[in-house]
Amino acid sequence: MTPKISVVINTLNEEQNIERAIKSVSWADELIVCDMHSEDKTVEIAKKLGAKIFFHKKEDFVELARNFAISKATNEWILILDADEEIPDTLGNKIKEIASQGIVDFVNIPRKNIIFGHFMQYSGWWPDFNIRFFKKDNVKWFNKIHRPPETTGKGFDLPAEEGCAIIHQSYATISQFLKRMDRYTTVQASELKQEGYVFAWKDLFQKASGEFLSRFFANKGYKDGMHGLALSFLQAFSFIVMYLKVWEMEKFKEQKIELSEIDSQKNKINKAIDYWIKQVGDQGNFFKRIFKKVDRRC
């Protein structure tokens, strides 16, 4: 007998996405939608598609409501799905196969992130493994943003292949990115303060440049073309905003800044960029190729 599977989806104003997500798991034995009091038709659509509806107070990030949503599922196996995600048939079949075998307790699933209409294959966005399928008592989320859950038992990683990946319609517009960034960076700044971090202005250069260099060079974001460049800059900007929000929490306390120190930070960044351009070798002309792509689109 095949073990039954519950799909759990946390929602907040997801009327544009929820139908696609639910229809992609029509094979599930139970569908749980835990809504944070949406002001659109999310709940109405989910009900019509057969979901069991539960409510949780509105939170700034989903992890605070995820364990509650999971507790409402009645089956042994749980599949976590976000409203802006969908499960392709090949992955759905693999999930059911894994449940039937009963060899593992949780599964790390790759995620195919579609950002500004482009499948991000580099820039640190792929394979973007997430623990999303598991036995109910073996996985628990922490009350912190974007942290992997606590697990017990035996795990298994699906191969980093598109057919085995959750499809994630991540960011459709720049405005959407900035809106989420504002919410996420407020939470992240609060967590930094709770961990004892004290704002230092040099981090605006060091942390942001480190994020850009990591995304665009170390994680080969240049292979994602203009999308890789844009996302690397946006991610770096989110670091600037996060650290400035810590400064705001410290009541905008003044710090002494010497122009020579600014120059020193600039030189360090320039040296790092020069290093990475040499490392990529023949791809050192990536900027030229990127801007050629932009010209063709204008």
Mind listing the pLDDT tens digit for each residue in 235-256?
999 999 999 999 999 999 999 9
DSSP, res 258: -
Q: At what angle do helices 225-249 and 174-194 cross, to 10 degrees?
A: 40
Query: Of 124 and 297, which is predicted with more confidence?
Result: 124
* Contact yes or no for 135/81 (Cβ under 8 A): no
Give 222's Cβ-side CA count (13 Å radius): 20
**Cis amide linkage into residue 159, ω under 30° from 0:** no
What is the average pLDDT across 44-57?
98
All structural domains of the chain: 5-169 (3.90.550.10), 173-297 (no CATH)
* Contact yes or no for 77/12 (Cβ under 8 A): no
DSSP, res 265: H
| Dihedral pair phi/psi, residue 15, rounded to 5° | -60, -25
In the numeric block, which tokens belong to residue 55? 């409510």
What is the average pLDDT across 180-192?
96
